[in-house]
Amino acid sequence: MPQDGPPPLADHPSEPAGAAAEPAVGELPLPGEAARTRYLAILADGGRLPASAVPPADRPAVAELLELGLLRTDPAGAGYTVVNPRSVGGRLSEELRSAGTRLLVQAQEMPALLDDLTRAYDRTPRKVDRSGEVRHLHGAEQVWERIGLLHRASVEEVLSAQPGGPLGRPLLEHALDLADRLLARGVAMRALYEPTARADGPTVAHVLAATELGVRSRVLGESFKRMLIFDRTTVVIPSGPDYTSAAFVEDPAVVAFLIGMFERDWARAEPSQWSPTAAEPAAQPVHVQVGRLLAQGLTQRMVAARLGLSDRTVAAHISRLRDQYDAETLFQLGWLMRAAAGDGRPEPGW
């Protein structure tokens, strides 16, 4: 049977772009180079293209022009007629504006559409992952191996706070060997001890030997936390009661906080004469203990609580000591007592 109109182009629409899909945002619906060349050739031939004159090689370009609406099927015969690009451009421009308006409306509505998820997010506390800044080790062998590596890597300073009772001889010998090697490399060392450490012969001998090497020490008659600080970048703190587990902290904020704790304790501690025959504060007369605590900045009430005495008893001791040392203030009294006992000089120590 005879065919009405030109034969359709395989795999391409045969109608103008009036029914074509809306152009994608960001992609302008412009003809390609081959389609432009074919459009100009059709114009040069009078604006009409017989269907029989479309060679197979030109079919994709003709199909593209049909899709864009720059060609339309001629209802009067078997061919195609060009369309004014101005009208096509106006139509495509309107489609783009319409699509853009819809996108703007959607963009304005988007926060409200996600509002329930946003509220849930804001209400939920989030965990901060610091797994790379705090490393936990379990087992004495692993802990000491890591501490040994930190000692060997230190280049500036090693600080230690050692509360509690005396340490074993093997540990003291190992610590002295470490101190010797660190100080030989120019690494500064400071250590805090509790007063009870001065009652242990091996600990006293160790501190005296370390003092000769150049380690500084102080004694603090208050509770403080055990820690090791390496080059002010890594802090080791126990994570178990038996010290076989430890946390190695590298987070700058936490490290700075722990260093502040150490420096605060160091400032409150006092240099001490380490001697195997030195009398312990706990064995000294009460009035001497009162004076030492006053020199540390403790108030009368704090001194009473520390020594387990009543306020009246402490006040009586303070009154007699003031008369004896001709002191006007409590701090002056403690300072004068320390100076008289030979404790007033700062000295290096372990």
Cα end-to-end distance, the chain, whole Å = 113
Residue 154 has pLDDT above 60, yes or no: yes
According to the per-residue pLDDT averaged within each range, which of 12-16, 75-79, 147-151 is highest?
147-151
- Identify the band that residue 345 occupies on the pLDDT scale cut at 50, 70 and 90: very low
Model confidence pLDDT, tens digit, residues 96-145: 888 888 888 888 888 888 888 878 877 777 555 454 588 889 888 888 88
pLDDT at 79: 85
- Write down the pTM of the prediction: 0.46
The Cα–Cα gap between 36 and 82 comes to 12
pLDDT at 310: 77
Q: Cα 2 to the chain's mean position, in Å?
A: 80
Comparing 93 with 307, which gets the higher pLDDT?
93
Q: Which of 265-269, 309-313, 337-341 has the lowest mean pLDDT?
A: 337-341
- Domain ranges within the chain, ordered by starting residue: 1-126, 134-268, 284-341
Q: Between 1.20.120.1200, 1.20.140.10, 1.10.10.10, 3.40.50.2300, what CATH number should domain 284-341 receive?
A: 1.10.10.10
Residue 193 β-bridge partners: 162, 219
Taken in order 282, 284, 290, 292, is the CA torsion positive or negative? negative
pLDDT at 232: 94
The Cα–Cα gap between 225 and 211 comes to 23
The Cα–Cα gap between 265 and 97 comes to 72
> In this structure, what token pair is assigned to residue 205?
């001998």
The top-level CATH class assigned to 134-268 is alpha beta
- Identify the band that residue 227 occupies on the pLDDT scale cut at 50, 70 and 90: very high
Task: State the angle between helix axes of 33-44 and 59-68 in degrees (0 to 180), rounded to the nearest 10.
Answer: 90
3-state helix, strand, coil in the chain (%, to 5): 50, 15, 35
Sheet with strand 157-162: strands edge to edge: 134-138, 245-249, 234-238, 227-230, 157-162, 188-193, 216-219
pLDDT at 236: 95
Q: Cα 347 to the chain's mean position, in Å?
A: 39
**CB neighbour list of residue 178: distance below 8 Å, 6 or more residues apart:** 151
According to the per-residue pLDDT averaged within each range, which of 62-71, 171-180, 184-193, 320-329 is highest?
184-193
